[in-house]
A and B are shown apart, each in its own frame.
Chain A
Amino acid sequence: MSTVHDDSAAWSDEELDTALDDLLNAGLNPGHHAEARSSQPVLGVGDRRRVRWPLPVAAAAAVIATAVGVATLIADHQRAQAIRTAAATVAIENGIADVGGVRFPVPAGWTVSARLQEDMVVACAAAAPTGNCDGVTISIAIPDGPPLPNAVEDAVIDQNCQPDDGRFIKVDTTPALGERAAIHYWGSCFLGGYEAHLWLLLDRSLAVSTPAGEWADEGARIARGIDLRQWSRQPGPQLVQWAEASTAVESTAGR
């Protein structure tokens, strides 16, 4: 019990509050303790002044450095956020939608909404766009952001398939989206089942997809009419690969 002390009372509320203030001050003024603990000879007043002045200056410099560092990071974050926000901006004029520079025709009676989701913008073209899009979904990678996730492809039919379903996928490697190289997948969970479609840029930066059995013609029209000339994301390396053995056939969607 080497730390036993002589106090006869337990912590009163007032005493505890005072002790907590002491602890706060100990954190705020570490120099006092360090100086008191020092085994160096006692310094004169003038000497102490010379020794003490660097501490507040260093503390002030540290605070300024922190502020500048955070302010810089905040500014960087603001710029990145401004790009993201612009990427999800929707304008529709004369039947053409513009989502952050990606333009495409809007089917008659439909409208378009868009929302930011992680590192991509998910636009929904539908009669009544919702988060669970009952229409055509256009997934757009953020300019300067990463490519679209693999899940964009997986979602084409997997969402509607049972684990033991066959997943019949057909591939057309010849189309283009906005004059950039693309691929068109379509498939169903079982032979003759409802087909879902996906048009995907080979650099995995943009995808147009339709749910199984719905809106294939509208999806094809949007994919055909996509205009990327105002889109600030530059073409990237090919990331989408397909097996040579895949059934390459011609799509009938939109015909």
Chain B
Amino acid sequence: MGGRRGSGSSEVGVLFEQHHTAIWRYLAGRVGATHADDLAAETFLLAIRRWHTYDPDRGPVIAWLFGIATLTVRSHARDEQRHLRRVQAMAAAQVDAPPADETIDRLDAQRRLQRLVPDLLQLDPTDRDILLLMAWAGLAQVQVAEALGLLPVTVRSRLHRARRRLRRAEQHLQVATTRENGLNS
């Protein structure tokens, strides 16, 4: 991209062609495919309005764009929660009554989703943003920092904290399981 000069609309038009798929994919992961179209459109319109704020010296434009996409997710937090709960419910339904043609791999995936979604929902929203930007947008920590307006060291510590919390949530669940099993035996 050619830097800060220009109206933004032509530059963002080029960005739309280059990065729409990646942005839509990230948004579909966050809120589901149904809402991803709207949020992708919202992302690029916001990018046009905010083009004057983009500073090429601070990082690649794709990180800036993912930052805007993440902002749109935050403004649609309910859609994200609904999507996650729907995924969890569908995964539970498939694990409880798997379709006849369901493969072992797909069932494993559903079990992982059953575990993951409640853990994700209890994360701090910014920690969740960091985790998912790194996993789905393929951004490096320094780029996630640019995308979210955080210091790189903050991203590193929050990512560490997010993963630690996920482990703790899992361990807590195991302790509860052990106790429950102990009581039942």
Contact = CB atoms under 8 A, between A and B. Distances in A.
Contact of A78 (B10, B115, B117, B171): B10
Give the size range of A's interface with the partner.
35 or more
B90 interface: yes
B148 interface: no
Interface of A: 1, 3-5, 7-8, 10-11, 13, 15-30, 33-34, 36-37, 42, 59, 62-63, 65-67, 69-71, 73-75, 77-78, 81-82, 84-85
B113 to A, nearest CB: 5
A28 B29 contact: yes
Given A37-B93, A66-B41, 20 more contacts: A3-B114, A4-B176, A7-B111, A11-B167, A16-B116, A17-B135, A18-B112, A20-B136, A25-B109, A27-B29, A27-B33, A33-B90, A36-B93, A42-B100, A63-B20, A74-B16, A75-B9, A78-B10, A81-B8, A84-B7
Contacts of B34: 30
A15 B7 contact: no
Nearest to A77: B9
Contacts of A81: 7-9
A70 B7 contact: no
* Chain A binding surface, main DSSP class: helix
B174 interface: yes
B7 A19 contact: no
B99 A36 contact: yes
A74 B33 contact: no
B37 A63 contact: yes
Given A70-B44, A74-B16, A11 B87 contact: no
B65 interface: no
B135 A65 contact: no
B1 to A, nearest CB: 15
Contacts of B86: 33
Nearest 4 CB-CB pairings of A with B: A81-B7, A33-B90, A24-B29, A10-B170
B24 interface: yes
B180 interface: yes
B57 interface: no
A85 to B, nearest CB: 7
Nearest to B88: A3
B180 A4 contact: yes
Contacts of A66: 37-38, 40-41
A81 B112 CA distance: 49
A1 B37 CA distance: 37
A15 B38 CA distance: 31
Contacts of B91: 26, 33
Contacts of B177: 1, 4-5
B20 A67 contact: yes
B32 interface: yes
B145 interface: no
B13 interface: yes
A20 B25 CA distance: 13
Contacts of A4: 173, 176-177, 180
Contacts of B45: 70, 73
A70 B33 contact: no
A27 B83 contact: yes
A3 B93 CA distance: 12
B147 interface: no
A50 B43 CA distance: 34
Given A3-B118, A20-B116, A27 B167 contact: no
